[in-house]
Amino acid sequence: MPPDSFLAPQDGRSRDPADVLRHVFGYEAFRGRQAEIVAHVTGGGDALVLMPTGGGKSLCYQVPALARAGTGIVVSPLIALMHDQVQALRQLGVKAAALNSSLAPHEARQVERALAMGELDLLYVAPERLLTDGFLSLLQGARIALFAIDEAHCVSQWGHDFRPEYRQLTILHERFPSVPRLALTATADGPTRREIVERLGLEEGRVFLSSFDRPNIRYRISPKAQPRQQLRAFLDAHEGEAGIIYCMSRAKVEATAEILNSEGRVALPYHAGLDAQTRARNQDRFLKEEGVVMVATIAFGMGIDKPDVRFVVHLDLPKSIESYYQETGRAGRDGLPSETFLLYGMEDVAKLIQFVEASDAPDARKRVERGKLDALIGLCETASCRRGVMLSYFDEQLDEPCGNCDTCLEPVRTYDGTEHVQKLLSCVYRTGERFGAGHVVDVLLGNATDKVTKFGHDTISTFGIGNSVSRDEWRAIVRQVVSLGLLSVDVEGHGGLSLTAACRPVLRGERRVELKAETRVRAARVSGGGRAPKAALEDPRDEALYQKLRALRLELARAQGVPPYVIFHDATLMEMARIRPRSLAAFGDISGVGEAKLERYGPQFLAAVKEG
């Protein structure tokens, strides 16, 4: 246990947040806007904190909760998330507990008693529990340091994480006007932000907006050609690392996990069709073992705090840039190099359009969804920096190309493709604007398939006018032309292509069109600048010691039934391996080693460093 002086003060005065950061968390300095936020909230102010995943939101309420007198109450929508945070805090010597439906009544009563007695630094609670009369009156009698409302975007009806109880949280303001409230989210868009302020009554509070860039994540996007081989090439570069692979359907999740297992990886499936027990078991293994690959639908991910997810793959197109950003954002929370890989094909686009069109949402909503899809296709087809395109979608400007995405690392040459585009557009027109890319390309290539002859398309003027270009190249041209808005994919979702108004100047020769020169499918990895980023140490001796420390960490974690990262993060172990501390004092200087961990684990890790 750390000295009592660094636990939440009971005497009514505040501690210095910088001291809390150093002694409890073992960190030297606040990051980004943390210092401002912590000062504001410790001083009693309300705030909305918008920070990307991995930005360090938890410290923004944990430090003030410890610095101020009383218990910090954290509203959190997911039991798994609470559980994880409580485990991590207890490792730090913080008196944390969670209150939710997973507790037996006598356990819940115990937690409530501890709250009433002022024995808790932090209490995580599910919104529905918080809103009960019983709990509210319990709070009335307790000393409260602050209210933190985590995943605050859950108040938004349009988001997929909508939680109606979140809207009733304004009651906190009414009942406890003098307790500071802090809402936090990693959702970037303006409308959601405004909704949070309005719904949670935070008009008087300050808004802290951070950049949503995730510089340690490398983005790669490739046309889908031979997905299985493309995936294998990518995974080969991520041997032994933990990652997530997203698929659109449950069947594909199962099939992919099976293939990966047969290839010698530890891959587990996760989707809503599995029973709760299997899902919980697979999630637990993903968190507690190292190097597990989770193959999942989007049912997996929210509330997963695992900091060392080294890669995220999308085998199918996500729904929008927001979804892509959120899902890829689960990689590299710990700030170490991580890589993402998206495979996309025109068929996926058609499928997604069909989803949108078949839904019973109002037309205006459908138009918004279509617009989002178009923006996503634009991101997939861009020849410029992916990060730049993505951030500009969130109204943020990148000063220069990032140097850490595929288009930056392997720049794409472009050429004047106007003539190709004209041929494609007239072929779409001549075939009646109702066929998909496959058929149109057959006509361009002059392939007299059954379908082509059946419709008499072997007799039209565009038959065979494109036979100097390969099929793959034509397909790439179709995708780019769709992404430029010159062709649209039909609303019934069968993939039929039709002309848009924007294509007129191109057909008349008044507008030139630049296309990407390299249409061949790239391997996931190219030599040189394209080598997969690695979270590893340069010196092989350090790397060997690092692996040894990891093994020790895993052993200690297993004995306690907790995930390894709640003991020490990879970055902390790396620093240990590099610095090789010789004394407890030197050990305590390592980032991520607070007083509780120094006392608890210091001797064992020191011994391992000495031997190594």
| List of residues contacting ligand ADP (CB under 6 A) | 27, 30-31, 34, 51, 53-59, 307, 333-334, 569, 591
Q: Which stretch binds Zn ion (CB under 5 A): 23-31, 121-129, 393-401, 413-421?
A: 393-401
Query: Is residue 408 within the footprint of Zn ion (CB under 5 A)?
Result: yes
Give min distance, CB of 101 to ligand ADP, in A.
23
* C-alpha 244, offset from chain centre: 10
Give min distance, CB of 574 to ligand ADP, in A.
13
12, with CB counted inside 10 A (0-12, 13-18, 19+), is: exposed
Q: Which of 73, 402, 437, 590 binds Zn ion (CB under 5 A)?
A: 402
Site string (294-313) toward Zn ion, x via CB under 5 A? --------------------
Q: Which of 387, 420, 457, 553 binds Zn ion (CB under 5 A)?
A: 387
CA 458 – CA 449 distance, rounded (Å): 9
Q: 3-class SS at 187?
A: coil
359, with CB counted inside 10 A (0-12, 13-18, 19+), is: exposed
Give min distance, CB of 501 to ligand ADP, in A.
43
Q: Residue 426 has which token pair?
A: 């007239």
Q: Which of 154, 315, 385, 606 binds Zn ion (CB under 5 A)?
A: 385
DSSP state string for 427-494: HHHHTTS---HHHHHHHHHT---HHHHHTTTTSSTTTTTTTTS-HHHHHHHHHHHHHTTSEEE-TTSS
Contact between 241 and 350 (Cβ < 8 Å): no
Choose the one of Zn ion, ligand ADP, none that binds residue 53, judging by a C-beta under 5 to 8 angstroms depending on kind. Answer: ligand ADP
Closer residue to ligand ADP, CB minimum distance, 208 or 474: 208
CA 221 – CA 386 distance, rounded (Å): 9
| Type of residue numbered 560 | Q
Q: Which stretch binds Zn ion (CB under 5 A): 189-197, 239-247, 380-388, 437-445?
A: 380-388
Choose the one of ligand ADP, Zn ion, none that binds residue 381, judging by a C-beta under 5 to 8 angstroms depending on kind. Answer: none
Choose the one of Zn ion, ligand ADP, none that binds residue 59, judging by a C-beta under 5 to 8 angstroms depending on kind. Answer: ligand ADP
CA 139 – CA 130 distance, rounded (Å): 9
Q: Residue 167 has which token pair?
A: 């809207």
Q: Which residues pair with 222 in a beta bridge?
A: 343
Q: Which of 308, 346, 366 is nearest to 534 (CA)?
A: 308
Closer residue to ligand ADP, CB minimum distance, 53 or 519: 53
Choose the one of ligand ADP, Zn ion, none that binds residue 387, judging by a C-beta under 5 to 8 angstroms depending on kind. Answer: Zn ion
Choose the one of Zn ion, ligand ADP, none that binds residue 402, judging by a C-beta under 5 to 8 angstroms depending on kind. Answer: Zn ion
Q: Which residue is nearest to ligand ADP (CB)?
A: 56
β-pairing, 96-99 vs 122-125, is: parallel
Give the 3-state secondary structure percentages of the chain, helix then strand then coil, rounded to 5.
45, 10, 40
Query: Is residue 405 within the footprint of Zn ion (CB under 5 A)?
Result: yes
Give min distance, CB of 598 to ligand ADP, in A.
16
Closer residue to ligand ADP, CB minimum distance, 30 or 324: 30
Give min distance, CB of 92 to ligand ADP, in A.
10
Closer residue to ligand ADP, CB minimum distance, 216 or 382: 216
Give min distance, CB of 406 to Zn ion, in A.
8
Closer residue to ligand ADP, CB minimum distance, 305 or 442: 305
Q: Give CA angle at 346 (342, 412), nearest 5°.
A: 55
Cα radius of gyration rounded to whole Å, the chain: 27
Choose the one of ligand ADP, Zn ion, none that binds residue 30, judging by a C-beta under 5 to 8 angstroms depending on kind. Answer: ligand ADP
Give min distance, CB of 186 to ligand ADP, in A.
6
Provide the 10 A C-beta neighbour count for residue 555: 11
Give min distance, CB of 36 to ligand ADP, in A.
13
Closer residue to ligand ADP, CB minimum distance, 31 or 285: 31
Choose the one of ligand ADP, Zn ion, none that binds residue 34, judging by a C-beta under 5 to 8 angstroms depending on kind. Answer: ligand ADP
Give min distance, CB of 405 to Zn ion, in A.
3
Compute CA distances 236 → 341, 531, 565, whole Å.
13, 11, 24
Beta strands in 254-386 (DSSP E): 267-270, 293-296, 311-314, 338-344
Give min distance, CB of 489 to ligand ADP, in A.
36
Residues lying near Zn ion in the complex (CB under 5 A) are found at 385, 387, 401-402, 405, 408
